Structure 1
Amino acid sequence: MIPLTLTATLRSPMHLGATNTAGNFLASLSYLPGRSLLGAVAWAWIDAGGDPGAPEFAHRFVSGAVSWGDLHPVPVKEETGAAVDGEPLVVPRTIKVCKLSGLRHGLVDVLLTTPPPEACPLCGVGLDRLEGVLVGDHDGRWLSPELHRQHRAHVSIAFDTGTARSGDLYSRDVLEEGQVFRGQIHCSDEPTAKAILDELPRLRLAVGGARSRGFGQIEVQVKRATASTLEVLREQSERVAQSPADVWYFTLTAVSPWCVRETDGSHARSLTPRRLARVLGVEEANARIVRGDARSESRSGWDGAAGLPTELRHVIVAGSTFLCAVRGLDGPTLQARLLRLSGRGIGEHRAEGLGRVAVNHPLHFISAEANRDE
């Protein structure tokens, strides 16, 4: 797996349809899904003269050799207004913050602590789950991005007359231009990685809805993931704990939605010992989910090429996290398999960025003191 870091800057407002739309209000997602990015790049590649029937097209966009990850918002520096350099990290569902002071009182993880804390260790106020993403800065602090949104009012147009449709007023939730989003593309081979590095910044990309109105124009920059990013993957896979009974403990976190099929064809609602054993190559009796926090939901979308809705998928949402235990493997073998899992992912539709896995997510190991205001 060859990771590339993609940074996208909005050059016009962007609307990405969300499922919580109600009435005449069209809500927008707060991130750019990998599926939308994949579709935008594929269409731009065709518009630039690429042949959709060529093997190269299938290799990049269909085969799974390239995984187009979600792009998440990046916070800006207070001094300059420029985007910070770090990679956005999806926050595990077991990370909580003080209800009163938020990040100023640091992060509290309730997955690895027994019994789990119920109040802020600094002030005693209750805890709230922290959702979204965090980005680390050079000072070792974790920053939460702030999205800038607008509500744009529109009138529907009757296509038969070309005039406003009577009584059909609606508003659209849009993300303001100028904001920066970042994520990773995973390539299976070096030639594909080189081609994406060379070609992607030159493509004219448009993402989301209302593109005919000029919405969704993005400018992208692609670079190889830093050596530190690769080292973190390796260190996280090695950061496992062994008990006297030769049981290895580690955490797995969904950093993008997981679409996992059970043996009967249904969608899994959570990570099961059977699936854990399968991805690590051990007997089911040697794999255990100690505890975790997971949520699942149904999702659908629109296939622009087919002009049809996509299949209804039931996914394990990003941020779901699990404390796992495995026996029957030596340390180096387990570390190698966890590293492979973090690169390949889990479940279906990995070309669209689904199935991304973080092994021993760093936020599990940060104490409340690490992020506290002095």
Structure 2
Amino acid sequence: MPTLHYRLTLDEPALLTSLYGEPNSSVSYPYVPGATMRGALIGALLRQGKAINPAADPDQRLFFSGATRFLNAYVVDPVKDMRTLPCPLSWVREKHLLTQSESDQALAVYDLVYGRPDGQTKGVRGFATTAGREASLVQVERRLNVHTERPRSGGGEGTVYRYDALERGQSFRGMILCAAEDARELTRLLTGMETVMLGGARSAGYGRATIEDVFLAENDSEPVIDAGPVILTLLSDAILRDADGQVQPSLAALLYVLNLHGSSLSAADVEAYFLDTTIVGGFNRKWNLPLPQSPSLAMGSVLVLRHGTVSQVAAESWLRAGIGERCEDGFGEVAVNWQQESQYRAITIDVMAQPITALLELADSSAVLWDRIQSRRTAQTALLEHAAIFSDQCYRLQGDLTRSGLARLRQSIADELRKEGPSMSVISNFLKDIKGKHADRKYSEARIDGKPLKEWLDEQQPAATEPVRRVLKRIDAVLENAQKASKRRGAR
């Protein structure tokens, strides 16, 4: 089955809200859900003016039937440049032993599938990659921000709330399992989206990410059913229904769903299991409504089945189609016999570390792709440096224009910069919107370096080959600098 791979790098913190946290807080998932990328691709099609019909192919096959599965994007191991996987719930370490980040020694991780070690143990959580008896443990970096909502002039009290978001700069790798006839269209959509907006609080500086390293590979890996027991590992949360049609995150419901793929398992076939539950939901931005909440089996859950109870056909069906409901959103991803070792020598990897690069001789097609990636990174670096140069210039802002009044223009520019194709019309549209209002008089009287602010804004037009994005960043940097300079003069 063709598999489309892609890499997401967060340019801003991402708030992919889970159902946990206090009422006045939002806590992000530690990964990018497949439903988020599925919605982003649907949004890209709609912005291109295409009408989507969920009841007919190819739209139904691409996004709604489950034939195409958008798997979760998990954090990248920066050393191996690989997609990590959730740590199995059967992994433990010695309870009172220092973690590898607290000592110079590697950490011994044991798999309870193969027996329990002596002494007290503690579960290992997070994400990992394995190579033989070596394991790399990766923890996602998070950012905690406190925001305030000021009381309005009409009355009421202000609110303090907290965002627990994914830190910017991290990379995540995701996969899309699709039919051969859909691979080209999905590749076109992904490669055409240089930037994508993810999650909530987008107008507050959250959610912008870059899509890169998109490539198509044939997923020809087959589950190995050898002489030992069959170990099933959940690589994502699974929403299961039992024989009565009720959502049940239980062993009985898991066996029932597995049997829908051609097996005939019973409780007597289970040698061991390590299960945990969680609550999953979601949000539909089209309806602006939350999705129904469902109890589910948590990622990392492990089921050990006796040898001879699972056929090759059933195991391949679990891998290809997933198990349970909402498989198109990344739920129900499984691995068969991934856990092959009883003990691992584990090291903790800094997720923000740079990958180790080696000198390789690339094929012609790969060399072209690498040059394109390097050119894009060089252009982005030059853009940031260009904005920094202008932000260092000392512009004076004179007049009664308040900080909040100037912030409205800067917010409009920031919203425009998050679009795939920003336009200079954001400046003229803003000035039209405030015409005849109190803010219009403030902008008319304000001067920047002795020149009327409106006139200065009209003069900021891109040169023949200058990108619009660069000009908007320059305007925003100058306004920010002038705003800070005005604040310092007011303090004196």
Q: Normalised by the size of structure 2, how large is the TM-score?
A: 0.62
Partner of 2:429: none
Give a deviation string over 1:118-170, Cα, whole Å, max 9, x none: 43xxxxxx321111210247x97422224332222222267xx6999632122
Give a deviation string over 1:88-111, Cα, whole Å, max 9, x none: 122110011233144623321001
| Cα distance change on mapping 1:284 and 1:153 into 2, 3 Å | closer
Instruction: Note the C-alpha offset of 1:288.
Output: 1.7
Partner of 2:269: 288
Between the aligned partners of 1:308 and 1:264, the Cα distance in structure 2 is 28
Residue 131 (1) aligns with residue 131 (2): no
Q: SS where residue 171 of structure 1 aligns?
A: strand
**Contact preservation (8 Å) 1:289, 1:324:** yes
| Cα distance change on mapping 1:286 and 1:132 into 2, 3 Å | closer
Residue 223 (1) aligns with residue 209 (2): no
Partner of 1:271: 251
The structure 1 residue matched to 2:192, chosen from 186, 197, 202, is 202
Between the aligned partners of 2:170 and 2:347, the Cα distance in structure 1 is 27
**Contact preservation (8 Å) 2:276, 2:297:** yes
TM alignment of 1:226-265, pairs within 5 A: 230=219, 233-234=221-222, 237-241=223-227, 249-265=229-245
**Contact preservation (8 Å) 1:291, 1:323:** yes
Between the aligned partners of 1:285 and 1:24, the Cα distance in structure 2 is 45
Aligned length: 337
The structure 2 residue matched to 1:343, chosen from 320, 330, 335, is 320
Instruction: Note the C-alpha offset of 1:324.
Output: 0.9
Residue identity in the other structure for 1:171: R
Between the aligned partners of 1:371 and 1:172, the Cα distance in structure 2 is 31
Partner of 1:172: 163
Runs of at least 5 residues in structure 2 that lack an aligned partner in the other structure: 101-105, 349-492
The structure 2 residue matched to 1:143, chosen from 136, 147, 154, is 136
Partner of 2:81: 85
Partner of 2:479: none
Between the aligned partners of 2:188 and 2:154, the Cα distance in structure 1 is 44
Higher strand proportion, which one? 1
Between the aligned partners of 2:267 and 2:275, the Cα distance in structure 1 is 22
Partner of 2:305: 324
Residue identity in the other structure for 1:313: S
TM alignment of 1:17-96, pairs within 5 A: 17-53=17-53, 55-77=57-79, 84-96=80-92
| Cα distance change on mapping 1:258 and 1:372 into 2, 3 Å | closer
Give a deviation string over 1:194-247, Cα, whole Å, max 9, x none: 22122212124211111122321111132224x7xx46x42xx224325xxxxx
Partner of 2:329: 352
Between the aligned partners of 1:5 and 1:162, the Cα distance in structure 2 is 50
Residue 299 (1) aligns with residue 280 (2): yes
Q: SS where residue 196 of structure 1 aligns?
A: helix
- The structure number with the bigger radius of gyration is 2
Residue identity in the other structure for 1:197: T
Q: SS where residue 59 of structure 1 aligns?
A: helix
Residue identity in the other structure for 1:20: Y
**Contact preservation (8 Å) 2:200, 2:206:** yes
Partner of 1:81: none
Residue identity in the other structure for 1:150: R
**Contact preservation (8 Å) 1:156, 1:164:** no
| Cα distance change on mapping 1:14 and 1:58 into 2, 3 Å | same
Instruction: Note the C-alpha offset of 1:371.
Output: 4.2
| Cα distance change on mapping 1:285 and 1:153 into 2, 3 Å | closer
Q: SS where residue 218 of structure 1 aligns?
A: strand
Residue 193 (1) aligns with residue 183 (2): yes
Q: SS where residue 193 of structure 1 aligns?
A: helix
Between the aligned partners of 2:344 and 2:267, the Cα distance in structure 1 is 36
Residue identity in the other structure for 2:57: P
| Cα distance change on mapping 1:163 and 1:325 into 2, 3 Å | farther
Instruction: Note the C-alpha offset of 1:257.
Output: 0.8
Instruction: Note the C-alpha offset of 1:286.
Output: 9.5
Runs of at least 5 residues in structure 1 that lack an aligned partner in the other structure: 78-83, 120-125, 243-248
More deviation, 51-60/295-304: 51-60
| Cα distance change on mapping 1:148 and 1:58 into 2, 3 Å | same
Instruction: Note the C-alpha offset of 1:350.
Output: 0.5
Between the aligned partners of 2:36 and 2:302, the Cα distance in structure 1 is 25
Q: State the Cα RMSD in Å.
A: 2.8
Give a deviation string over 1:329-358, Cα, whole Å, max 9, x none: 7xxxx2233123212111111100111110
**Contact preservation (8 Å) 1:76, 1:145:** no
Give a deviation string over 1:39-81, Cα, whole Å, max 9, x none: 222112211333223733322111112111111112334xxxx
| Cα distance change on mapping 1:162 and 1:319 into 2, 3 Å | farther
Instruction: Note the C-alpha offset of 1:287.
Output: 6.7
**Contact preservation (8 Å) 1:258, 1:355:** yes
Q: Normalised by the size of structure 1, how large is the TM-score?
A: 0.81
Structure with greater contact order relative to length (CA < 8 Å, sep ≥ 6) = 1
Partner of 1:245: none
Between the aligned partners of 1:162 and 1:153, the Cα distance in structure 2 is 22
Q: SS where residue 55 of structure 1 aligns?
A: coil
Higher helix proportion, which one? 2
